[in-house]
Chains A and B, each alone.
Chain A
Amino acid sequence: MIQNQKGSLTIDFIFALVLVLSMTLLLGVFSFSLSVVESIQYLAFSSSRAYFAGNVSLEEQKKMGQQKFDTLSKDGAYKSFLKKEWFSVTPIGFEDFAETYEKEDSRDIFEGVRLKIVIGLLDLNLPIFGSTTKDGSYSAYINSFIGREPSSEECMGVVANRMNAILKLSNASYSNVGSTAKKAYASFDDNGC
């Protein structure tokens, strides 16, 4: 008869330890991922704010937003934990996402930045339990919609259109002033945009 049964307890302990450590790791990874997502929300806001500020043209505003994103993600504080295998963040675009969000009210603002985050860290292969991934990867979108100030290019466009409209007023004779009516006036924005 086998009298010594101490070994069975060791096997039990190893089995339980693997299960508990796996679950602990999973919970830890999940918590860390959510913390990183919170941090990246600031990254989105900061990039969106750089895009928001008025500039020479829309392209310049987009460039400023992208520049802020690059500065923070590649050289700034985010660099240390934005490892490509763990967290990959890419901007989908700096634009108006009204179509994506099926905007109905003209006052609703969906203009800003939309980032895609792929969390490779959640793609685990735990002993006994197997893989945490069923189909596709763990990804989400992080948005910051704070709108955008008009660029001076757009502003001057509005001013020029307004001037043309004034020149064409039927009850006024602005178009007759001067020998070459259109050249007689110059439009300026007067910081009015």
Chain B
Amino acid sequence: MNLSKKLNQAGQVSVEYVLIAAVLVAIAFSVKGAIQNSKMLAQFVQGPWDMVSGLIENGVWGGAEKSRALHPGHLSRHRSLKGET
């Protein structure tokens, strides 16, 4: 029996790589799942959307409902009823 052939341990590294790859893939999938479950992107986009919709509706940086009181239509205007002479 050739003892040197039995002592060849090169295959162990490949097995280790496969295991590490499996662990990394599992971690990647769990991170992806966590990101999707926490609705991270939805918060990232929909959070500021309320402010943006307030700006679209009322021209003021603030929530759509709250900023209605700050709509420029409420601003007091000064005008002369006599007109130009």
Residues of chain A whose beta carbon lies under 8 Å from any beta carbon of chain B:
1-2, 26, 30, 34, 37, 100-105, 107-110, 117, 122, 126, 128-135, 138-143, 145
**Is there contact, CB below 8 Å, between A141 and B56?**
yes
Interchain Cβ contacts under 8 Å between A and B, 19 examples: A1-B13, A26-B41, A103-B73, A103-B74, A105-B74, A108-B73, A108-B74, A128-B35, A129-B40, A130-B35, A131-B42, A134-B39, A134-B43, A135-B46, A138-B46, A140-B56, A140-B64, A142-B56, A143-B58
| Closest Cβ–Cβ distance, residue B60 to chain A (whole Å) | 12
**In this complex, what residue of B is CB-closest to A105?**
B76
**Is there contact, CB below 8 Å, between A139 and B45?**
no
**Is there contact, CB below 8 Å, between A26 and B73?**
no
For chain B, the count of residues having a C-beta within 8 Å of the partner chain is: 28
Residues of A within 8 A of B13 (CB): 1-2
**In this complex, what residue of A is CB-closest to B28?**
A15
Most buried by A among B14, B36, B39, B45: B45
**Is there contact, CB below 8 Å, between B14 and A2?**
yes
**In this complex, what residue of A is CB-closest to B69?**
A102
| Closest Cβ–Cβ distance, residue A60 to chain B (whole Å) | 25
Distance in angstroms between the alpha carbons of A141 and B58 in the assembled complex: 9
Residues of A within 8 A of B40 (CB): 129-130
| Closest Cβ–Cβ distance, residue B30 to chain A (whole Å) | 13
Question: Contact flags (1/0) for B22-51 with A, using CB distance below 8 Å?
Answer: 000000000010011001111101100100
Give the top 4 A-B pairs by smallest Cβ distance, nearest first: A130-B36, A134-B42, A140-B53, A129-B41
Distance in angstroms between the alpha carbons of A107 and B13 in the assembled complex: 82
**In this complex, what residue of A is CB-closest to B74?**
A108
Most buried by A among B39, B64, B76: B39
Distance in angstroms between the alpha carbons of A126 and B49 in the assembled complex: 18
Residues of B within 8 A of A122 (CB): 45, 49
Distance in angstroms between the alpha carbons of A128 and B32 in the assembled complex: 6
Distance in angstroms between the alpha carbons of A26 and B69 in the assembled complex: 31
Question: Contact flags (1/0) for B50-71 with A, using CB distance below 8 Å?
Answer: 0011001110000010001101
| Closest Cβ–Cβ distance, residue A30 to chain B (whole Å) | 8
